[in-house]
Amino acid sequence: MTTTPPIAIIMGSQSDWATMRHAAETLDRLGVGYDARIVSAHRTPDRLYDFAKGAKAAGYKVIVAGAGGAAHLPGMTAALTPLPVFGVPVESKALSGVDSLHSIVQMPGGIPVGTLAIGKPGAINAALIAAAVLALSDPDLADRLDAFRAAQTAAVAEVPVDEA
Ligand code: RP5
In a domain, 53, yes or no: yes
With 90 as the cut, is the pLDDT of residue 164 above it? no
Q: How many domains does the chain have?
A: 1
91 lines ligand 1 (CB under 6 A): no
For every residue of 11-36, DSSP letters joined together read: ESSGGGHHHHHHHHHHHHHHT--EEE
- Ligand 1 pocket member 15 (CB < 6 A): yes
Confidence of residue 70 (pLDDT cuts 50, 70, 90): very high
Q: What is the pLDDT of residue 1?
A: 66
Which residue range(s) make up the domain with 79? 7-154
Asked if the structure places residue 100 within a domain, the reply is yes
pLDDT, one tens digit per residue, over 53-69 is 999 999 999 999 999 99
Q: Is the pTM of this model over 0.90?
A: yes
User: Ligand 1: which of 15, 17, 64, 102 to mutate, judged by most atoms within 8 Å of the beta carbon?
Assistant: 15
Residue 162 forms part of a structural domain: no
CATH number at residue 88: 3.40.50.1970
User: Is 2 within a domain?
Assistant: no
| Residue 163: inside a domain | no
